[in-house]
Chains A and B, each alone.
Chain A
Amino acid sequence: MNGKLVISSSPHVRTIQSVQSIMIDVLIALGPVALVAVLLFGKQALITMAVGMGAAMLTEALWLRRWNIFGDGSAAVTGLLLAMTLPANVPWWIPVIGAAAAIIIGKQLYGGIGQNIFNPALVGRAILVFSWGSRLSGKIWPVPKPFHFFADISAVTTATPLAGEAEAMEVSLSQLLIGNMAGCLGETSAIALIFGAFWLFYKGHIDWRIPGGYLATVWIMGTLLGGGIYINPYMTGLFHLLTGGVLLGALFMATDMVTSPVTPSGKLIFGVGCGLITMLIRLYGAYPEGVTFAILTMNALTPLIDKFTIPRKFGEVKRLVRP
């Protein structure tokens, strides 16, 4: 499973990158986010992330009957990303079932790494949301207690600011940036997410087009349609960018190499589409947050986008339609 992972349109240049090295880079990039999550939500955050990663790696090792638990590292990334979409106070079996479902249904049944159509972590999350929705939505998000590692954070919970309820909305811009608000583990701190993503940009693992298209669309739609100054002064474009899972999704999930288009214009279309669906769900849908379903929907469209955006070969002319 340690073969070369080369997905791009031609011309192809061989690199010494392996799946494992990329996955380790992703784990490094998620480091700051995980650190902030532990600082904010304490030991429960650490347990949830550890359980998610452990369960994902164990499931993959068992499925492939492989002794090397870490393997190519992709299972660890899936497990960690899944845990980051959960509230810190979920019971232990939620990340376990979610990670197992993500690995088996989201990845291995399609034929393993590189073959899956959907982002495995989001498949895991979707299954959890549909199965135990009351634990993953509503007024269940723990309010963080920064720097109290052993504090029990499940005592005070609230709705996500996106639900548009007054009490949850009173968050300042600086709180949004640092992440001192109710939410799932990996979505609260904008600074940590951007900081981590820089590592991936630096390493060249992600392209600006997907997050760029995604975030720009969310910002524009949030500014124009978010209620803005008319209905709710908080619901601005910036608010929509910094709350919920948009940054986590745009920087770490939509950019998954396997499930996003390979052509440059395709990536842009993919990002814009994710942003569009996210905002449609947020503004007009029944759920307060739409990142999961937006990215999964666009994942399904990826082969189509690739098909229509393959760059023309040098000298190729548009095929004439015969009368």
Chain B
Amino acid sequence: MKNSYLADITRGIFKENPTFRLVLGMCPTLAVTVLVKNGLGMGLAVVAVLTCSNIVISSLRRFIPEQVRIPCYIVIIATFVSIVEMVLQAFVPSLYAALGVFVPLIVVNCIILGRAEAFAGKQPVLRSLCDGIGSGLGFTLGLLLLSLVREVFGNGTLLAETNYAVQLFGPNFEPMRLLAQPAGAFLVLGLLLALTNIVFKRLQIE
């Protein structure tokens, strides 16, 4: 039984990684990953919302009538998103400013509604919790990788705008500005998708 919980977590991170395998939630993925800080912040915000909404939706799954499940899911998700937004604004205002409109947009992030519909609406609470954590971490992993590549090569820094900011290269380094631009986001995402496809093929994972 324990194995099943672990499988629920790892499935979201690797086999059904939202970014690289399901290709869901591309809008924030492409938009906020200029800096690691933003990518990580967005990822963790999604983990929080996804975990909470999965728990609630799963525990209410017997009470919510079939016909109105989508409106209920949306209300539940929107509530958690608004709470996360207020918490971010209160305690991490700089991150709130950087993520901007993309925090409210978590409401319509396909992953969250997708997991609610495909998993939490049918499975017991604990498994939904694990699934929420797993999928959220998978999404965070995707954002982290993308923002890591974009920040290091497009900006020449690591963890910029935090207390641990590191200037990676010498003063003569000229960062590859393309990667910090929207076009660069598509390019890096495409390359990372190709890379994960190769890896999964080599490892013989369906």
Contacts of B177 in A (CB 8 A): 130-133
Least CB distance from A53 to B in Å reads 22
| A127 cross-chain contacts in B, Cβ below 8 A | 178
A105 and B174 alpha carbons, distance in the complex (Å) = 21
- For residue B121, give the distance in angstroms from its CB to the closest CB of chain A: 39
B174 near A109 (CB under 8 angstroms)?
no
**Contact status of A109 and B181, CB under 8 A, knowing A131-B176, A132-B174:** no
Closest beta carbon of chain A to B116's beta carbon, Å: 36
Tell me the chain B residues, 158-182 only, with Cβ under 8 Å from chain A. 174-179, 181
Q: Are B194 and A131 in contact (CB under 8 A)?
A: no
User: What separation, in Å, do the CA atoms of A135 and B184 have in the docked complex?
Assistant: 19
> By the criterion CB–CB under 8 Å, are A131 and B187 in contact?
no
- Using Cβ atoms and an 8 Å threshold, which residues of chain A touch B194? 109
Say how far B198's CB is from chain A's closest CB, in angstroms: 11
**B176 pairs with A105, CB closer than 8 A:** no
Report the count of interface residues on B (CB-CB < 8 A).
12
A105 x B178 contact (CB < 8 A)? no
For chain A, give the interface size range: under 10
Interface of B is mostly: helix
Q: Scoring B residues 177 to 195 as 1 if CB is less than 8 Å from chain A, else 0, what string do you get? A: 1110101100100010010
**Interfacial chain A residues near B184, Cβ < 8 Å:** 130
* A130 with B181: CB separation less than 8 A: yes
* Residues in A neighbouring B175, C-beta threshold 8 A: 131
**Chain A residue with Cβ nearest B183:** A130
Within 8 A of B (CB), among A77-113: 97, 105, 109
Smallest distance from the beta carbon of B145 to chain A beta carbons, Å? 18
- B174–chain A nearest beta-carbon distance, Å: 6
Residue of B nearest to A91 (CB): B174
Task: Select from chain B the residue with minimum beta-carbon distance to A109.
Answer: B194
Contacts of A97 in B (CB 8 A): 176
| In the bound complex, CA of A132 to CA of B174 (Å) | 8
Nearest opposing residue in chain A for B174, CB measure? A132
A133–B179 CA distance with the chains assembled, in angstroms: 13
- Cα-based distance from A194 to B174 in the complex (angstroms): 37
**A105 contacts which of B179, B181, B187 (Cβ < 8 Å)?**
B187
Measured CA separation A131–B154 after assembly (Å): 8
User: Roughly how many angstroms separate A232 CA and B5 CA in the complex, as a whole number?
Assistant: 74
Chain B residues within an 8 Å CB radius of A131: 175-179
Interface of B toward A, CB cutoff 8 Å:
174-179, 181, 183-184, 187, 191, 194
11 sample A-B contacts, Cβ–Cβ < 8 Å, listed by A number = A97-B176, A105-B191, A109-B194, A127-B178, A130-B177, A130-B178, A130-B183, A130-B184, A131-B177, A132-B177, A135-B174
Q: Which 3 A-B pairs have the closest CB atoms?
A: A130-B178, A131-B178, A131-B176
Q: In the complex, given contacts A105-B191, A132-B176, what are 15 additional A-B residue pairs having Cβ atoms less than 8 angstroms apart?
A: A97-B176, A105-B187, A109-B194, A127-B178, A130-B177, A130-B178, A130-B181, A130-B183, A130-B184, A131-B175, A131-B176, A131-B179, A132-B174, A132-B177, A135-B174
